[in-house]
Amino acid sequence: MTRRDLLTAAGSAALLSSLPNRAAAQAVPNPKGHLGMGGSPTSFSNRNGGGRGAARVPVAPADAIDYCHSLGLGGAEVAAPPTNPAEIASLRDKLQSWDMHVIFNIPLPKTEEDLPKFDASVKAAHDIGAWGLHAALTGRRYEDFNTLAEYEKSFAANQHAVALAEPVLRKHKVRLAIENHKGWRAVEQAAWMKRLGSEYVGVHFDFGNNVSFLEDPLFTLETLKPWIFSGHIKDMAVQPYEQGFLLSEVPFGDGFLDLKKMVDILRQKDPNMPLDLEMITREPLKVPIYTDKYWATFADVPGRQVAHMMEIIQKNPPKKPLPTTAGLDAPARKKLEEDLNLACIRYARQNLGL
C-alpha cells in the first residue's frame, strides 16, 4: 500500500476540524494521478538553523525527506544526492515506498574541471529516480549589483555554467529547472531558455519572486510557461513603506496571488508537475523601488507594467499583519514556522488539490 493509499484510507476533509495540526495536514489525501505538494528547504530554514541563506545549511537528503513525510508532504527538495551505491539504493527505496518525489540541488560546474564531480552527482540523482534538479543561481538583483554591467557579467557566468552542465544532463537524461530567483525578469529568462533550446533545461517557477521586479505573477507565469518543469508554490502579501514596498510570504489564502488559477494553469501544462511549498518565515523583504540603486540594473521595464503592479499593491493591502520573527527566540521561530507551514498544507489540501 502506497502513502497515497494510506492517506485515502485515513479520512477526508471532514476530519480536519477534529485533528491536531500535524495530523490534520495529513488527513486529506492528494488526488490520484497528481504528485503531492512537496517541501523546499527554505520552508524549514528556522528548523535548520535560520537566517538568510539558511537553505544552504547542510541537511542530509534522507533527513529532509523524513521530515517532509512527517508533515504529509508528497515530496522534497533537498541538497545534493549521496554518491555511495548503498546510500543511493537506500534513498531510492525510501522514496518509492513512500511514493514521494525528490528534487536535488547540485552545484553547477563553473569550469571544465568541475565536470567530473557534477557528472557523478547527476548520475546519482538519476539512479535515485529524482524528478530533476533545482538551481537558484542569483541573489536579489537590486541588492547585489550597482550597475547594469555588473549584472550582465553575472548573467553571462550563469549562462556559461548552464551551458557546461547541459551535455551532462542530456547524457543522464536528468532535467535541470532554474528558478526565477530575483535575478532575471521573466522576459530575460524566457529569451535565455529559448536561445538554449534544451529539453533538459527549463524553469523552476517561483510563484512570487518576480513581484520584486514589479511583475504581475500571472504575467511571469504565462511568460515562462513553455519552459516550466517544476515550482515553488507560495502566497505573497505586499505593503507600502517609505522607499517602496514590503514583500512577504504568507499562509496560503492570506495573500493576493490567485493560487487556484495559477495551479490550474500549471496542472493543465503537466498534471504531474511537482510544486514544493516555500513558506519562508522571516522578516518582510524591502523592495526599494523609489531608490536609484533599485533601477541601476534595469534598462527597459515597461511603464505600463510598473503602473499595473502599483495598482495591485494599492488594491491589495495585507489581510493580516505580515509575519515577523523579530524578538522571537529560536524555539518560538521554529514554532511559528511550523504553524505557518501547516496552515499552507491544510489550505492546499482543501482548496488546491495538492
pLDDT band at 36 (very low <50, low <70, confident <90, very high): confident
Q: What residues are paired with 228 via a beta bridge?
A: 203
Distances in whole angstroms, Cα of residue 28 to Cα of each of 60, 241, 297: 28, 39, 45
Neighbours of 78 (CB within 10 A): 25
Instruction: Give tens-digit pLDDT for 196-243.
Output: 999 999 999 999 999 999 999 999 999 999 999 999 999 999 999 999
Instruction: Give tens-digit pLDDT for 135-193.
Output: 999 999 999 999 999 999 999 999 999 999 999 999 999 999 999 999 999 999 999 99
Q: What pTM value is reported for the model?
A: 0.90
One-letter identity of residue 58 = P
Q: Enumerate domains of the chain plus CATH numbers.
A: 34-352 (3.20.20.150)
Q: ∠ at Cα 11 (277, 76), nearest 5°?
A: 25
Residue 78, C-alpha cell as written in the block: 533537498
